[in-house]
Amino acid sequence: MTQADFKLAFDEYYRPIKNFLYYKLSDIHLAEDITQEVFIKTWDKRDSVMTETIKSYLYKIANNLAINHFNSGKTRFELKLKDHDRTISESPEYVMEKDEFAARLNRAMDNLPEQQRVVFLMNRIDDLTYREIADRLEISVKAVEKRMQNALESLRHVTQSKF
């Protein structure tokens, strides 16, 4: 792999790898640190890395580093709700309910198995298709569908229950 190939890979995959790690580790700063480590390891092995397989190579290293981190302790995921319409004046009751819902959603995300959480966030935050997720995680599209279905069922309980 040439320096130009490495730069192209870095430019194309830095953000997706960082997001992938963030979804697994629930800590953006840790995800950034490990993403840098992924690319350092790739640079160190550049003579044996083939450009055609760089994407799967990067995800494999990222996944292995995330597993190593998970073995050292559990992380906490924090999802922020997007405010879609800021033109409406929010009542204090609405703000309180929204905050309570966000806290419940974060707890629900914490309780999702890692595989479900990663697939859910790759689809809903990164807007990746099931095929793209399957390619990045090196699993079947059916496995992605099943993980998403299970994640949605778990999260649906949060949205349907009363505060």
Give domain limits for the chain: 3-70, 92-160
Neighbours of 20 (CB within 10 A): 28
pLDDT of residue 147: 92
Residues with pLDDT less than 50, the chain:
73-76, 84-87, 163
pLDDT of residue 144: 93
Residue 19: name the closest of 75, 59, 56, 72 by CA: 59
What is the CATH T-level fold of the domain 92-160, as seen in this structure? Arc Repressor Mutant, subunit A (1.10.10)
Q: Is 96 helix (H, G, I), strand (E, B) or coil?
A: helix
What dotted CATH number matches 3-70? 1.10.1740
Can you tell me which residue has the tokens 């800021």?
86
pTM of this structure:
0.56
- 108 CB contacts (<8 Å, ≥6 apart)? 154, 155, 157, 158
Read off the pLDDT of residues 3-20 as tens digits, 9 standing for 90 and up.
999 999 999 999 999 988
Read off the pLDDT of residues 47-76 as tens digits, 9 standing for 90 and up.
898 888 899 899 989 988 887 776 654 444
